[in-house]
Amino acid sequence: MNPDQTRHVPVMLQRCLDLLAPALEQPGVAEPVVVDCTLGLGGHSEALLTRFPSARLIGLDRDKEALRLSGERLAPYGERATLVHAVYDELPDVLARLGIPRVQGILFDLGVSSMQLDEADRGFAYAQDAPLDMRMDQSTGMSAAEVLNTYPAGELVRILRSYGEEKQAKRIVSAIVREREKEPFTNSARLVELIRDALPQAAKRTGGNPAKRTFQALRIEVNGELSVLERAIPAAVAALAVGGRIAVLSYHSLEDRLVKQVFAAGAANTAPPGLPVVPERYQPRLKLLTRGAELPTEEEVAQNRRAAPARLRGAQRIREEAE
C-alpha cells in the first residue's frame, strides 16, 4: 500500500460497518449493492468490500485524483467495485445509467478527504501556504481566490457567517476588500495572516486556528457543498430499497442539521391530527438508527485527530413511498 493510503484513517469505520450490516446481510438478497457517495481514498469502500463479500460497491467522487488512487486500492476486488466520476447529488443518474433501481446501503463521509488536506497545492489547509484553489474537482468551477477577489463584500460576509459561523465576518471581509484592491489574493498564507491581523485578541484565544472558519466557509461555497447535500440526502433516501440503510458522517453543524432534518421528516407520521387509524401513506418511511448524532470515541480521536468533529447519523427505509 502506498503512503497516500496508509496515512488515511477512515473515521468511525467499525460503527459505519455495523450500522449498514443488517441491510447488506439480508437473507434473500444475493448481491446487495452499497454506494459510497464520498469515495476519497477508498478506506471505507475497501472495508465494505472486505466485510460483505457478496456486496457490489458503487463509489462516487468528484475528484479525479481520488478516483485514480482509490481505483488502485480497490483493483483486487475487480468487478465488484464500480467507480464513477460524479458529485453525490448525481446518485439517481448514476444508478439509472448502471440499471440499478434500488440499493441496500449508502454511506456518506462528508469531511474533506485526507488527500485534499495533505496535498499542499490544493489550498484546503490553512497550516501551509498554497494556491487558494479549494475545488474538489479542479476541472470545473471557481477557485477560492476568484471568490475572494470578485464577490461583493456583502456576499462574502453572508458566506463567512452562514457557512463558517464566523462572528467576526464583517471585520475579516473589510480587511479582504481593502487588501484585494492593492493586489488580488492568490495564496493561502496571505489570507491566514490577514485574518490573524483583523481579529481582536479575545477572538484569537479560542477555537484553534483563527482562519479555520473562513477556510471552511470558502470551501463550502467553492464546492456548493450545502446545496449539493440538500439535494443528495433526500435522493439517497429515495434510492434505498425497503430494509436498506443509510449512514452519514458530517463534520460541522450545518451539514449535521441538514441530515437531521431529512431523517426526522422521513421518520415522522404525516397524518392529519385526530385520525383514528393512520393510513399507510401517512406512516413513516424511515426508522432512525442512532439516538441523535453519535460521536467518535476518545480512543479514536486520540488516534486520528480528524475524527474529532465527526457526527454520525443512520436511518433505515421501512416502507415504499406513498402512491
Confirm whether residue 61 is marked as ligand binding.
Answer: yes
Which of 190, 223, 256 terminates a domain? The answer is 223
pLDDT band at 139 (very low <50, low <70, confident <90, very high): confident
Report whether 121 belongs to an annotated binding site: no
Range of the domain at 242: 3-115+225-317
How many C-beta neighbours within 10 Å does residue 167 have? 12
Q: Is 44 annotated as a binding residue?
A: yes
Whether residue 120 is contained in a domain is answered as no
Query: How confident is the model at residue 126, as a pLDDT?
Result: 62
Per-position DSSP letters for 18-80, written without gaps between them: HHHHHHHT-TT-SS-EEEESS-TTSHHHHHHHHH-TT-EEEEEES-HHHHHHHHHHHGGGGGG
The reported pLDDT for the residue numbered 45 is 97
pLDDT tens readout for residues 168-196: 999 999 999 999 999 999 999 999 999 99
93 by DSSP, 3-state: which? Answer: helix
CATH of the domain at 56: 3.40.50.150
215/236 same-domain check: no
* Predicted confidence (pLDDT) at residue 5 exceeds the cutoff of 60: no
Q: Are residues 197 and 233 in the same domain?
A: no
| Judgement on whether residues 86 and 154 belong to the same structural domain of the protein | no
Q: Do 104 and 240 reside in the same domain of the chain?
A: yes
Q: What is the mean pLDDT of residues 24-50?
A: 95
Within the chain, where are the H helices? 3-6, 13-24, 43-51, 64-74, 91-98, 114-118, 144-150, 153-164, 169-182, 188-198, 201-204, 212-223, 225-239, 253-266, 298-303
> Which of 177, 204, 223 finishes a domain?
223
Both 79 and 175 in one domain: the answer is no
Instruction: Please tell me whether residues 299 and 155 are part of one structural domain.
Output: no
Confidence of residue 204 (pLDDT cuts 50, 70, 90): low
Which three cell numbers mark 194?
Answer: 490577514
Which residues have CB under 8 Å from 95's CB, separation 6+? 35, 58, 101, 103, 239
Confirm whether residue 303 is marked as ligand binding.
no
Roughly what angle, to the nearest 10 degrees, separates helices 169-182 and 153-164?
140
Residues 230, 110 within the same domain: yes
**Half-sphere exposure at residue 155, Cβ-oriented, CA atoms within 13 angstroms:** 8
**CATH assignment of the domain containing 166:** 1.10.150.170
Residue 115 is predicted with a pLDDT of 46
For all residues of the chain together, what is the average pLDDT? 89
- Ligand-binding site membership of 261 (annotated): no
Taking residues 23-44, report their average pLDDT.
94
Same domain, 10 and 110: yes
